[in-house]
């Protein structure tokens, strides 16, 4: 009898315990692909959200065999003015009939002015909101507002937010200038003592009367405020010191014989920072181990030989060291410890760190670095010799 | 348990070991030297290869119980053991080198970002497993894969044939055949890999007729090498072909027939993966088996793992970059290989002839004394 009633109770509970309580119907939702925030007169925030629109053929007019190129708009960018981030995001309901799905947000764009004023206390919502995954990429606008950036139509990728994410990821593995940063890491570095966050910049450029988006510069933060930018060379130097393994990138060195450009690519690179206090001076021992392949040359000299490869390796090491030094010098000028030297000091000298932490911003510009770079050319893809043209 | 290998299996193993790494690097080397007549150079080298195959078959006949007893009986116990020890070191080195040559190819053009250690570990794990199973399993695997490889290679050659310019093979022997014949000994080394069959003596079913599969394997290797080099030269011309590090691979990537037959590189890579797994397995097995014979062990299995553990780091650390690999492969490798697979076997053969003559003389003496 007991078994029978238990079974009935369990069966009845199935209907009540189904996970419909927090349901959000797809038909009643839109996907937020990018969100951003900028300053607005009157001490208010301008919240901007980008929503991708379904392509025209998905609206049921065209069948699979009658595919046509999408002609209508592929996204819509909505901006609202509010006191807080959340308020701004919810005011979007005044413009759209559906509710947002934040889980697919691929990028977060902060305005340059907003970043210069400082985001402390302004983006609490991003950390607290359970629907926001912290894996979206962070960008800072340059000489433009967030809504201006998110309204620029992109050609190959129909949605600007998706284009931005693809651009930053692809340049990382192929070109290797700027360091992508995810929201979780950005927020984490903002609150961790001994390290400051950076984020790639994005600007609008005009080419042939058409507006395009371009990744440009690395924004350097200090105490949650944008304090300056790293240029291309400095951004490369910063990238070499990334704590995780670097995969991809290029190095342009000179041919040891004729000074013409030679391009080596990077397969992988790792770095380690170890702090040392010597005679009251703080020294950061930076060890970089990089390996890559010979990729391109503009001269006719045979460079992939046992004699020339060590020379190319030394050239690449010098280039990497130069880029790292440029990045460190710039960061020290801006007084922002973007490399995590403070953390390295904390790990090696916890007692000294407690003493130095409070006035680290005064100490950081005096920190010296000692570089130990090893670069190795391993392979040369399909050819070892260059083409010998008859000219 | 029947652990003998048939004539066809011997042929299959032999052709696998001749081809495994030579087909990756040798075409460029040959074309650089002989230009448009590279295909003739490998045929001339093959003549030396046929002579060597005969030499190896004679050693197989003489080494009835195994390679270790044969060397010990010919060279004396301690000198023989020292020579065997040298062979064991060389087998490990050769295994590491072959593995590195192949993995470097894969990492250069197929899976560029993959760490070399991962690829080496994966290939060695498979090879060590096969080596532990013994020669019968390895021979059966070769017996099957030889068909797969031959069909794939034939398909590739047929597909390329439609896209070549036969004029690129001209002029034929502009400076006569003698100049090429002189260079041919250096390029004999792929065929000398058939020597490793001598170490399989105890497992060969019909030792007296072992020469036939060896000779056939060299003949087929000549055909395949020559065909590949001929088509590579005709496809690119010798100027361009000599620049590619992996010309066979570059040629296959260019196949584009009937607007739909293309990207046959997967076939070539499959063939080369089969080749390298077989070669590495065989060399690991030969190390374990010969080592077990030297140490008078009952079974080869305990030595497979130590051999694998030596080969893995050696193959990664042996060279820093592709230029060092090519330099060693082009300048030194053939000399080292020729020492172990031509010079020493020739010494064994001559001593065996001399000892046989001495025995005959003794028998004649004792016969005369008795009568």
For A294, name the nearest residue in chain B, comparing CA atoms only.
B322
pLDDT reading at A96 higher than 90: no
Compare CB distances from A306 to B240, B246, B323 and report the shortest one's residue. Answer: B323
CA distances from A165 to A115, A240, A247 (A): 20, 21, 17
If we measure between CA atoms, which residue out of B111, B28, A304 comes closest to residue B120? B111
pLDDT of residue B122: 95
CA distances from B336 to B79, B192, B333 (A): 20, 11, 5
Query: What is the mean predicted confidence (pLDDT) over A233-247?
Result: 94
pLDDT of residue A120: 83
Q: Which residue has the higher pLDDT, B357 or B74?
A: B74
pLDDT of residue B183: 85
pLDDT of residue B147: 95
Greatest C-alpha distance within chain B: 85
What is the percent of chain A with per-residue pLDDT over 90, rounded to a whole number? 69
Output the CA torsion sign for B346, B347, B351, B354.
positive
Query: What is the mean predicted confidence (pLDDT) over A92-113?
Result: 90
Could you read off the pLDDT of B310-347 as tens digits, one per residue? Answer: 999 999 999 999 899 988 988 898 899 999 999 999 99
Measured between CB atoms, does B361 come within 8 Å of chain A? no
For B101, name the nearest residue in chain A, comparing CA atoms only.
A379
- What is the spatial distance between Cα B319 and Cα A345, in angstroms, rounded to a whole number? 37
Cβ <8 Å between B113 and A377: no
Element (DSSP H or E) covering residue B206: none
For A247, name the nearest residue in chain B, comparing CA atoms only.
B113
Query: What is the mean predicted confidence (pLDDT) over A206-228?
Result: 94
Partners of B100 on chain A (C-beta within 8 Å) are none
Query: What is the mean predicted confidence (pLDDT) over B197-221?
Result: 93
pLDDT reading at A66 higher than 70: no
Measured between CB atoms, does B322 come within 8 Å of chain A? yes
pLDDT reading at B348 higher than 90: yes
Partners of A268 on chain B (C-beta within 8 Å) are 113, 115
**CATH for the stretch B7-363:** 1.20.1740.10
The DSSP 8-state label assigned to residue A367 in this structure reads -
Cβ <8 Å between B113 and A268: yes
Could you read off the pLDDT of B23-39 as tens digits, one per residue? Answer: 888 899 899 889 899 99
Interface of chain A against chain B, CB under 8 Å?
Answer: 247-248, 267-268, 293, 304-306, 308-309, 376-388
Compare CB distances from A306 to B107, B115, B327 and report the shortest one's residue. Answer: B327
What is the percent of chain A with per-residue pLDDT over 70, rounded to a whole number? 93
Domains of chain A listed by start with CATH number: 25-230 (no CATH), 243-391 (3.30.300.210)
Cβ <8 Å between A382 and B115: no
pLDDT reading at A17 higher than 70: no
The helix/strand/coil state of A246 is strand
- What is the spatial distance between Cα A136 and Cα A105, in angstroms, rounded to a whole number? 6
If we measure between CA atoms, which residue out of B131, B139, B107 comes closest to residue B269? B107
DSSP A301-347: S---STTHHHHHHHHHHHHHHHHHHHHHHHHHHHT--TT-HHHHHHH
pLDDT reading at A60 higher than 60: no
Cβ <8 Å between A379 and B321: yes
Measured between CB atoms, does B327 come within 8 Å of chain A? yes
pLDDT reading at B99 higher than 80: yes
User: Which of B238, B249, B322 would best serve as a mutation to test chain A binding (most A beta carbons within 10 A)?
Assistant: B322
- What is the spatial distance between Cα B62 and Cα B70, in angstroms, rounded to a whole number? 7
Measured between CB atoms, does B150 come within 8 Å of chain A? no
Total beta-carbon pairs less than 8 A apart between chain A and chain B: 61
Greatest C-alpha distance within chain A: 100
Using 50, 70 and 90 to split pLDDT, how confident is the model at B369?
Answer: low
Partners of A384 on chain B (C-beta within 8 Å) are 243, 245, 322-323, 326
Measured between CB atoms, does B1 come within 8 Å of chain A? no
Could you read off the pLDDT of B267-323 as tens digits, one per residue? Answer: 889 999 999 999 999 999 999 999 999 999 989 999 999 999 999 999 999 999 989
- What is the spatial distance between Cα A110 and Cα A201, in angstroms, rounded to a whole number? 10
Interface of B with A in 64-123 (CB under 8 A): 104, 107-109, 112-113, 115
Query: What is the mean predicted confidence (pLDDT) over A3-7?
Result: 88
pLDDT of residue A61: 52
CA distances from A161 to A38, A64, A153, A172, A175 (A): 16, 27, 10, 17, 20
Cβ <8 Å between A385 and B242: yes
pLDDT of residue A70: 60
Do the strands A250-254 and A261-278 form a parallel or antiparallel pair, or are they unpaired? antiparallel
**Cα angle at B172 between B170 and B177, to 5 degrees?**
160
Partners of A309 on chain B (C-beta within 8 Å) are 320-321, 323-324
Cβ <8 Å between B321 and A267: no
Using 50, 70 and 90 to split pLDDT, how confident is the model at A22?
Answer: low
Using 50, 70 and 90 to split pLDDT, how confident is the model at B123?
Answer: very high
Measured between CB atoms, does B250 come within 8 Å of chain A? yes
- What is the spatial distance between Cα A249 and Cα A267, in angstroms, rounded to a whole number? 8
For A390, name the nearest residue in chain B, comparing CA atoms only.
B239
For residue A165 the two structure tokens come to: 């994410």
- Contact residues for A170 (Cβ-Cβ < 8 A; gap 6+): none
- Contact residues for B325 (Cβ-Cβ < 8 A; gap 6+): B100, B101, B104, B319
Cβ <8 Å between A384 and B245: yes
Compare CB distances from A381 to B108, B242, B327 and report the shortest one's residue. Answer: B108
pLDDT of residue B216: 96
Cβ <8 Å between B321 and A377: yes
For B249, name the nearest residue in chain A, comparing CA atoms only.
A382
pLDDT reading at B236 higher than 70: yes
Q: Which residue has the higher pLDDT, A17 or A376?
A: A376
- What is the spatial distance between Cα A187 and Cα B40, in angstroms, rounded to a whole number? 68
For B240, name the nearest residue in chain A, comparing CA atoms only.
A387
- What is the spatial distance between Cα A373 and Cα A287, in angstroms, rounded to a whole number? 6
Could you read off the pLDDT of A294-325 as tens digits, one per residue? Answer: 999 999 899 999 999 999 999 999 999 999 99
pLDDT reading at B56 higher than 90: yes
| Lowest model confidence (mean pLDDT) among A127-141, A277-291, B302-316 | A127-141
Highest mean pLDDT among A18-22, B55-59, B259-263 belongs to B55-59
For A173, name the nearest residue in chain B, comparing CA atoms only.
B113
Q: How far apart are the first and last CA of chain B?
A: 48
Q: With 0-12 CB in 10 A as exposed, 13-18 as middle and 19+ as buried, what is A291? A: buried
- What is the spatial distance between Cα B20 and Cα B154, in angstroms, rounded to a whole number? 16
Partners of B108 on chain A (C-beta within 8 Å) are 293, 379-382
- What is the spatial distance between Cα B287 and Cα B148, in angstroms, rounded to a whole number? 27
Partners of A247 on chain B (C-beta within 8 Å) are 113
Name the β-bridge partners of B257. B261
If we measure between CA atoms, which residue out of A336, A362, A365, A361 comes closest to residue A220? A336
Query: What is the mean predicted confidence (pLDDT) over B188-192?
Result: 92
Measured between CB atoms, does B243 come within 8 Å of chain A? yes
pLDDT of residue A71: 67
Q: Decide: B325 and B101 in contact? Cβ < 8 Å.
A: yes
For residue B263 the two structure tokens come to: 């990207």
What is the percent of chain B with per-residue pLDDT over 70, rounded to a whole number? 98
For B325, name the nearest residue in chain A, comparing CA atoms only.
A306
**Cα angle at A308 between B94 and B120, to 5 degrees?**
30
pLDDT of residue B1: 45
Partners of B332 on chain A (C-beta within 8 Å) are none
Our CA-based measurement puts residue B154 at a distance from the nearest CA of chain A, in whole angstroms, of 23
Q: Which residue has the higher pLDDT, A140 or A209?
A: A140
If we measure between CA atoms, which residue out of B342, B345, B44, B53 comes closest to residue B212? B53
Ordered by start, the domain boundaries in chain B are: 7-363
Cβ <8 Å between B250 and A382: yes
Compare CB distances from B245 to A247, A308, A380 and report the shortest one's residue. Answer: A380
Highest mean pLDDT among A87-96, B131-140, B200-209 belongs to B131-140
**Cα angle at A71 between A67 and A77, to 5 degrees?**
130
State chain B's mean pLDDT as an integer.
91
Q: With 0-12 CB in 10 A as exposed, 13-18 as middle and 19+ as buried, what is A197? A: buried
Order of strands, sheet of A368-379, starting from the edge strand that comes earlier in the sequence: A250-254, A261-278, A281-297, A368-379
For B110, name the nearest residue in chain A, comparing CA atoms only.
A381
Compare CB distances from A304 to B115, B249, B322 and report the shortest one's residue. Answer: B322
Do the strands A107-110 and A34-40 form a parallel or antiparallel pair, or are they unpaired? parallel
Compare CB distances from A384 to B112, B240, B323 and report the shortest one's residue. Answer: B323
Q: Which residue has the higher pLDDT, A17 or A209?
A: A209
Inter-axis angle of helices B22-34 and B7-19, nearest 10: 60
């Amino acid at each position: 009898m007991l078994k029978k009633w238990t079974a009935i109770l369990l069966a009845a509970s199935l209907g009540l315990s189904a996970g419909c309580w927090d349901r959000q119907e797809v038909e009643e939702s839109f996907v937020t692909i990018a969100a951003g925030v900028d300053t607005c007169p009157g001490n208010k925030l301008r919240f901007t959200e980008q929503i991708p629109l379904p392509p025209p053929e998905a609206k049921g007019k065209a069948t699979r065999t009658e595919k046509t190129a999408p002609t209508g708009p592929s996204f819509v960018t909505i901006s609202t003015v509010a006191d807080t981030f959340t308020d701004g995001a919810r005011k979007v309901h005044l413009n759209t009939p559906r509710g947002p799905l934040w889980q697919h947000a691929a990028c977060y764009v902060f305005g340059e002015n907003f970043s210069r004023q400082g985001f402390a206390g302004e983006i609490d919502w991003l950390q607290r909101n359970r629907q926001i995954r912290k894996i979206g990429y962070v960008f800072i606008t340059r000489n433009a507002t967030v809504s201006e950036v998110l309204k620029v139509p992109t050609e190959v990728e129909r949605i600007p937010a998706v284009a931005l994410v693809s651009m930053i990821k692809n340049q990382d593995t192929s070109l290797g200038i700027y360091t992508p940063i995810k929201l979780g890491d950005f927020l984490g570095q903002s609150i961790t003592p001994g390290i400051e966050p950076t984020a790639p910049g994005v600007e609008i450029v005009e080419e042939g009367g058409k507006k395009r988006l371009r990744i440009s510069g690395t924004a350097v933060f200090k105490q949650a405020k944008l304090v300056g930018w790293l240029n291309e060379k400095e951004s490369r130097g910063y990238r070499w010191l990334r704590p995780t393994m670097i995969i991809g990138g290029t190095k342009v060195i000179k041919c040891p014989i004729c000074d013409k450009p030679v391009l080596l690519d990077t397969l992988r690179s790792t770095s380690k920072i170890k702090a040392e206090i010597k005679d009251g001076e703080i020294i950061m021992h930076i060890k970089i181990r990089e390996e890559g392949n010979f990729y391109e040359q503009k001269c006719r000299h045979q460079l992939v030989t046992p004699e020339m490869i060590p020379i190319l390796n030394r050239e690449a090491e010098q280039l990497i060291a130069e880029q790292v030094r440029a990045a460190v010098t710039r960061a020290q000028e801006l007084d922002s410890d973007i490399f995590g030297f403070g953390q390295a000091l904390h790990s090696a000298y916890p007692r000294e760190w407690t003493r130095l932490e409070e006035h680290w911003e005064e100490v950081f510009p005096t920190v010296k670095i000692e570089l130990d770079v090893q670069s190795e050319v391993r392979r040369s893809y399909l050819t070892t010799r260059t083409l010998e043209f008859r000219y | 348990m029947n652990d003998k290998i048939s004539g066809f299996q011997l042929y299959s193993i032999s052709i696998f070991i001749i081809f495994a790494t030579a087909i990756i690097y040798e075409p460029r080397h040959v074309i650089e030297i002989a230009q448009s007549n590279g295909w003739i150079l490998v045929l001339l080298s093959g003549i030396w290869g046929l002579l060597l195959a005969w030499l190896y078959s004679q050693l197989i006949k003489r080494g009835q119980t195994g390679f270790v007893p044969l060397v010990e009986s010919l060279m004396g116990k301690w000198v023989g053991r020292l020579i065997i020890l040298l062979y064991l070191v060389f087998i490990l080195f050769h295994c590491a080198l072959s593995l590195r040559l192949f993995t470097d190819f894969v990492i250069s053009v197929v899976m560029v970002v993959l760490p070399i250690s991962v690829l080496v570990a994966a290939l060695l794990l498979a090879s060590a497993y096969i080596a532990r199973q013994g020669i019968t399993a390895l021979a059966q695997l070769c017996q099957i894969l030889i068909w797969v490889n031959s069909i794939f290679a034939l398909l590739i050659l047929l597909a390329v044939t439609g896209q070549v310019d036969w004029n690129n093979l001209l002029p034929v022997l502009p400076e006569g055949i003698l100049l090429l014949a002189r260079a041919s000994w250096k390029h004999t080394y792929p065929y000398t890999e058939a020597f490793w069959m001598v170490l399989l003596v105890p497992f060969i079913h019909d030792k007296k007729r072992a020469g036939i599969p060896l000779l056939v394997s060299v003949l087929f290797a000549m055909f395949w090498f020559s065909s590949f080099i001929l088509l590579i030269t005709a496809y690119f011309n010798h100027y361009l072909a000599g620049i590619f590090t992996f010309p066979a691979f570059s040629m296959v990537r260019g196949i584009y027939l009937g607007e739909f037959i293309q990207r046959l590189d997967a076939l070539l890579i499959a063939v080369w993966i089969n080749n390298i797994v077989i070669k590495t397995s065989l060399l690991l097995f030969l190390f374990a088996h010969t080592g077990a014979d030297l140490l008078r062990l009952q079974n080869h299995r305990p030595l497979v793992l130590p051999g694998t553990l030596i080969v893995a780091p050696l193959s990664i650390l042996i060279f820093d970059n592709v230029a060092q690999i090519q330099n060693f492969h082009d300048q030194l490798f053939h000399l080292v290989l020729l020492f172990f697979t031509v010079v020493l076997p020739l010494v064994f053969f001559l001593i065996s002839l001399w000892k046989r003559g001495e025995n005959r003389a003794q028998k004649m003496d004792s016969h005369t004394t008795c009568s």
